[in-house]
Amino acid sequence: MNDDILTLNELKKYFFKKDGFFSLQQSVVKAVDGVNLSIKRGETLGLVGESGCGKSTLGRLILKLEEPTAGRICFEGEDVTACSKKKMRSLRKEMQIIFQDPYSSLNPRKTIGKIIEEPFIIHGIGDRKQRKEKVKKLLDLVGLRPEYIDRYPHEFSGGQRQRIGIARAISLHPKLIIADEPVSALDVSIQAQVLNLLYALQEEFHLTYLFIAHDLSVVKFVSDRVAVMYLGRIVELAKSTKIYNNSLHPYTEALLSAVPVPDPTMKKKRIILEGDPPNPIDPPSGCYFHTRCMYKMNICDKEYPPIKEVEKGHFVACHIRC
């Protein structure tokens, strides 16, 4: 287990919402509902699922931007959920995040030099001159001109802003980076550039990525392993090639059939899921997916299927397939 950089153990995040001012009842949104997951050092783990399935919340939980309701997060054997504030501050150096929206992730009142310099100030690294040098190096590293150091975020395009966000994330040489849909707000042509940059940085600094996305073709390109999430739970986890060639969970199958293929002559069988994803306040009984599943059996609405390892490294939670 030593090559696991991060282990999540029965991680849960519930949001409570009072039904009304006078009501004593609360509804519970189970955004993340008992996730077990481990990320290996140096790999890229793709995390996919439709909107609202809890993938971003999971990323934020790992960084302790949100407090988990239950469960454990172990980073390099250290229990993040239980550690002190001081310990947490130094742990933050090791984990960073890249946000989805490059327009809201940079403080509009600060120059990009100040934005990238801030992690060094917070952790008391170097004097002013050294820090400036480091910032220039980082800008160069992410493919921006070091002369841009005194410009404000609004003077940059979306792709450039995302590069600034990446420079800030890697400034402290973290070991783990949570990339929360880092390219879904960008143009396709820019997406490729940013993905290549992320890949190059991973090679150079031996980074581990948790790559959250809803675009399966992007995930296929970057990930070593892929985890599929549905309504706060992981339903399938396998090597990237396995997922794309031999997916077992019906939900994964449906997701994959929805990936557009840039070839107009190719006829593809699309699996169209009926209905919306169930309301997470009131998830269906049994397997959460049975309401939309095309292979539904009797047992499906009675029991939640346990996640099983069907072959080495390929985990599925489905009654039909294992």
Partner 1 sequence: MDIEKSRKLKKETPGLLFWRRFKKNILGISGGIIVLLLFFVAISAPYTSPYDPNEIDIKSSLQAPSKDHLLGTDQLGRDVLSRMIWGSRISLLVGFVAVGIATVIGIFFGALAGFYGKWIDSLIMRFVDVMLCFPTFFLILAVIAILEPNIWNIMAVIGVTSWMGVTRLIRAEILSLKERDFVKAARAMGARDIRLIFLHILPNALSPIWVSVTLGVAAAILTESALSFLGIGVQPPTPSWGNILTAGKDNIEIAWWLSLYPGLAILITVLGYNLLGEGLRDAIDPRLKT
Query: Closer to partner 1 at the Cβ: 65 or 200?
Result: 65
Instruction: Find the Cα–Cα–Cα–Cα dihedral 152, 153, 155, 158, rounded to 10°.
Output: 170
Contact call for residue 101 and partner 1 (CB under 8 A):
yes
Query: Closer to partner 1 at the Cβ: 96 or 223?
Result: 96
End-to-end CA distance of the chain: 25
**DSSP annotation string for 253-308:** HHHHHTS--S-TT----PPPPPSPPPPTTSPPSSSTTTTT-TT--GGGGTSPPPPE
Question: What span, in angstroms and rounded, lies between the C-alpha atoms of 273 and 141?
Answer: 43
Selected from 18, 89, 137, 206, the binder of partner 1 by CB under 8 A is 89
Q: How far is the CB of 123 from partner 1 (least distance, A)?
A: 7
Contact call for residue 134 and partner 1 (CB under 8 A):
no
Contact call for residue 108 and partner 1 (CB under 8 A):
yes
Encoded amino acid at 306, one letter: P
Query: Closer to partner 1 at the Cβ: 165 or 305?
Result: 165
Query: Closer to partner 1 at the Cβ: 123 or 239?
Result: 123
What string marks each residue from 149 to 168 as x (binds partner 1 by CB under 8 A) or -?
A: ---xxxx---------x--x
Query: Closer to partner 1 at the Cβ: 180 or 236?
Result: 180
Selected from 41, 92, 132, 321, the binder of partner 1 by CB under 8 A is 92
**DSSP annotation string for 245-268:** HS--SHHHHHHHHTS--S-TT---
Stretch that binds partner 1, among 8-16, 39-47, 99-107, 294-302 (CB under 8 A): 99-107
Question: What span, in angstroms and rounded, lies between the C-alpha atoms of 237 and 234?
Answer: 7
Binding site for partner 1 (CB under 8 A): 60, 63, 65, 88-90, 92-93, 95-97, 99-101, 103-109, 118-119, 122-123, 152-155, 165, 168, 172
